[in-house]
Amino acid sequence: MIESTMMHFPLTLTHVLDRAARLFGTSEIVSRLPDKSLHRHTYRDFHARAIALAGALQRLGLKKGDRVATLMWNHYAHLEAYLAVPCAGGVLHTLNLRLHPDDIAYIARHAGDRFLIVDDVLLPLFEKFREQAAFEHVIVVPLSGAAVSAGDDYEKLLAERFPFVPPELEENDPAGMCYTSGTTGRPKGVVYSHRSIVLHSLATAMADYLGLSNRDTVTPVVPMFHVNAWGLPFTALMVGAKLVMPGPHLDAVSLLDLYEAEQVNVTAGVPTLWHGIQQALDREPQRWRLVPGMRMIVGGAACPEALIRGLDRHGVRVIPGWGMTETSPVGLFNFTKREMADDDDASDASYARRAKAGVPLPFFEVRALADGREVPWDGDTMGELEVRGPWVAASYHDEPGSGEQWSADGWFRTGDIATIDAAGYVKITDRIKDLVKSGGEWISSIDLENALAAHPAVQEAAVIAVPHPKWGERPLAVVVAKEGASVTSEALHAHLSSFAAYARPAAYVFVAEIPRTSTGKMMKAKLREAYKDWRWT
């Protein structure tokens, strides 16, 4: 009989917080405020303020496991809450400020939130659901400089420097919470542990994945209420990177100004954002001096190949990743493996690979199933993606009856349809419910959308399944033309000539915009409803 002689050392965020100040005290955190001025402080200030917040929460009665909600943009105070709440033994519950107030209230009640930290500029939103939620303590962050009257003043609480008594924490203790932003159905709560966040940060930071280092300057544009800004704040603090927080101004010009001013070299967000950035750069290619080779991480929805090509022309590297609320979120990340390193980077094959969702992180396992059987890794056969790993949810918070999301042998069913190739690159071809099933064949709506987006006159496109008397379903393309451009159905159909005849849209409609969810995904359910009675000719 032999036992390991290694220490039992819990993987908690307390270590991340302390280390941030001890080793990287001079690293900067820059936040753009609502009036567009820049707020600057260092990791050392951040640490002192996070400890002060932890003490204040304890003084207000925070007990282990209490939920502390945030209704905030991306900035220094939100970052302080990110570490202070879990290190005080609480559970950080980031509320999605883009949801309908009734939905925010439902989520806050379902989660059992006791505390709320809210930006003063978001108080008008808060007032719309204040009565429906049951917060015992409201703390207001004075971002705009106006006097605080709706709750405790965040800055005054911190100035009190209430003593902080670090609680005993185990690595499996709950640390954070996020609700799914599903395109259909009720939002469901996922509770992250200290351990899952730490392991996710370690794995994503690796060179081939986010590749974050101490020398990087990182801007999470993805909101801190969308799956912990994909873990970037934690990962950045772990390596001591400079953080540049965009606050509420997320239009392309404001972002480009910030990237230039702070020389940002890594940023992350959903594809629609980067479309805007590309258009701004196309319009005024000389206006901004960006860091050469800047990395734009894209996730939350499939990355169109046209976007990668378009931003390559401006010296910006678009890198897709894949994830879900239930997977912390990052599970896949796209990098060029050594066996492909000699490929011509500008070849069509290379672009097709670069647009895939990526290869699995260490300790993140994938398989794709069709008709109950695992499909081969041939890059062609589609199946439902199932995943497992230490930062994948094993259940939802207080949601009896949701067990069908997990397979009998414990894998999480993602609801995404994917192919996996021999080299391990996963390509998402659809959400299960968005698949077009035409005459017994599966048609990938994402492939068609990406091909349409590559047409010079197309801004974006959504392809949906519409009932058809003969084929069961046929694809309908809903297209937004670029400003000032015009295009016909015939031209688009010809543009898709590389697709099999049955796989091309059976009709095209032109619209001014495609409805989107609070986290930037196309609302295909809404489109399907709008076009369900389409008369095929």
Taking the complex as a whole, how short is the minimal distance between the CB of residue 307 and ligand AMP, in angstroms? Answer: 12
| 54 forms part of the interface with ligand AMP (CB under 6 A) | no
CB of 466 to ligand AMP, least distance (A): 21
Which residue is catalytic, options 128, 336, 381, 442? 442
Which residues, 375 to 434, sit near ligand AMP by CB under 6 A? 414-416, 428, 431
Identify the sign of the CA torsion 308, 75, 324, 130.
negative
Q: Which region among 49-57, 110-118, 145-153, 324-332 touches ligand AMP (by CB under 6 A)?
A: 324-332
Q: Which is nearer to ligand AMP, 112 or 182 (CB)?
A: 182
Q: What is the rounded distance in angstroms from the CA atom of residue 210 to the CA atom of residue 383? A: 27
CA distance 65 to 56: 16
Task: Please tell me whether residue 299 binds ligand AMP under the rule CB under 6 A.
Answer: yes
Residues comprising the chain, all counted: 537
Residue 201 binds to ligand AMP (criterion: CB under 6 A): no
Could you say whether residue 329 binds ligand AMP (CB under 6 A)? Answer: yes
- Asked if 324 interacts with ligand AMP (CB under 6 A), we say yes
Edge to edge, what strands does the sheet with 189-193 contain?
152-153, 137-141, 113-119, 67-71, 91-94, 174-179, 189-193
Asked if 357 is part of the footprint of ligand AMP (rule: CB under 6 A), the reply reads yes
**Burial readout 130-148 (b: 16 or more C-beta within 10 A, e: otherwise):** beebebebbbbbbbeeeeb
List Cβ neighbours of 413 (8 Å cut-off, separation of 6 or more): 384, 386, 404, 405, 406, 407
Among 164, 322, 333, 396, binds ligand AMP (CB under 6 A): 322
Q: Is 230 a catalytic residue?
A: no
> Per CB under 6 A, does 474 bind ligand AMP?
no
| Residues near ligand AMP (CB under 6 A), total | 21
Residue 531's nearest CA partner among 464, 479, 473, 470 is 464
Question: Using CA of residue 506, residue 512, residue 516, residue 521, what is the dihedral sign?
Answer: positive
**Given the complex with ligand AMP, which of 11 and 302 has the nearer CB atom?**
302
Out of 80, 171, 262, 326, pick the active-site residue. Answer: 326
Contact 197, 205 (CB under 8 A): no
442 included as an active-site residue: yes
- Set 14, 70, 94, 180: catalytic member: 180
Rg (CA), the chain: 23
The owner of tokens 């959308």 is 449
Q: CB 345: neighbour CB atoms within 10 A?
A: 12
Binding flag, residue 180, ligand AMP (CB under 6 A): yes
For the chain, the first-to-last Cα distance in angstroms comes to 76
Nearer to ligand AMP among residue 66 and residue 416 (C-beta): 416
320 near ligand AMP, rule: CB under 6 A: yes
Q: Helix, strand or coil for residue 244?
A: strand
Candidates 1-9, 17-25, 34-42, 300-308 — which segment interacts with ligand AMP by CB under 6 A?
300-308
Comparison of 236 and 357: residue with beta carbon closer to ligand AMP: 357
444 binds ligand AMP (CB under 6 A): no
Cis-peptide into 329, omega within 30 deg: yes
Instruction: Please pick, from the candidates 105, 169, 198, 302, the single residue that binds ligand AMP as defined by CB under 6 A.
Output: 302
| H and E: helices and strands count for the chain | 16, 26
Q: Is 180 part of the annotated catalytic residue set?
A: yes
Of 63, 64, 156, 437, which one is the catalytic site residue? 437
Residue 288 designated active-site: no
Structure tokens at 217: 């300057």
Residues near ligand AMP, by CB under 6 A: 180-181, 227, 299-303, 320, 322-325, 329, 357, 414-416, 428, 431, 519
Q: Which residues are catalytic?
A: 180, 326, 437, 442
